[in-house]
């Protein structure tokens, strides 16, 4: 357990006195620092908040934006909802897979990119929609796959 996590847990509990309410911001803060949530991290968080580890694991699993395995420096989500699918998101995903040499759900060997599917990102008017480190990009037609990968974004 990193020493600062205790302080972060105290701050989360001060803001959200119920432990299960403090859980989400604490997980978020730790993921921002560590890049992902390892199984040992979830155990540590359970201990810090005095919650059952199974509960912490179930919450971390429910939300797809909590990463349970290491991700790349740039996390690229491609929306596969109906509007985006009709606008070509499957071809966009295919081109990204070709350019990166990985399938959706995987990280490039150099750790630069993780490519993930997303359900409707609630920006259907921009279809096909992608996100790079949670920043919305759209419309991103398949021929703009290169531009999408070159986006400069903070992590
Ligand atoms: S279907 Fe892609 S944003 Fe709604």
In angstroms, the CA 63 to CA 17 distance is: 22
The structure's pTM equals 0.85
SS3 content of the chain, % helix, strand, coil (to 5): 50, 10, 35
Provide the pairing of β-strand 135-137 with 130-132. Answer: antiparallel
> pLDDT per residue over 105-116, tens digit each?
999 999 999 999
Atom of ligand 1 nearest to the CA of 82: 1
Q: Is 130 in the pocket of ligand 1 (CB under 6 A)?
A: no
Q: Is 120 in the pocket of ligand 1 (CB under 6 A)?
A: yes
> pLDDT per residue over 63-110, tens digit each?
989 999 999 999 999 999 999 999 999 999 999 999 999 999 999 999
pLDDT given at position 145? 96
Which of 84, 130, 139 is the best mutation target for the ligand 1 pocket, counting ligand atoms within 8 Å of the beta carbon and taking the most? 84
Q: Is 85 in the pocket of ligand 1 (CB under 6 A)?
A: no
In angstroms, the CA 10 to CA 127 distance is: 42
Whether 153 has a pLDDT exceeding 80, the answer reads no
- Give me the DSSP letters along 14-66: HH--SHHHHHHHHHHHHHHHHSS--HHHHHHHHHHHT--HHHHHHHHHHSTTS
Domains of the chain with bracketed CATH: 3-62 (1.10.10), 74-150 (3.40.30.10)
What's the whole-number average pLDDT of the chain? Answer: 95
pLDDT given at position 155? 55
In angstroms, the CA 115 to CA 123 distance is: 19
């Amino acid at each position: 357990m990193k020493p600062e996590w205790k302080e972060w847990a105290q701050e989360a509990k001060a803001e959200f006195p119920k432990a299960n309410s403090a859980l989400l911001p604490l997980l978020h803060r730790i993921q921002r620092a560590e890049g992902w949530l390892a199984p040992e991290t979830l155990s540590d968080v359970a201990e810090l908040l005095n919650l059952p580890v199974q509960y912490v694991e179930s919450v971390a699993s429910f939300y797809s934006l909590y990463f349970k395995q290491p991700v790349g420096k740039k996390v690229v989500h491609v929306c596969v909802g109906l509007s985006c699918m009709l606008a070509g998101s499957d071809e966009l995903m295919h081109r990204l897979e070709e350019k990166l040499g990985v399938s959706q759900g995987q990280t490039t060997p150099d750790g630069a990119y993780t490519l993930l599917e997303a359900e409707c990102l609630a920006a259907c008017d921009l279809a096909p929609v992608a996100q790079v480190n949670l920043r919305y990009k759209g419309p991103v037609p398949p021929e703009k796959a290169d531009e999408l990968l070159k986006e400069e974004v903070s992590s």
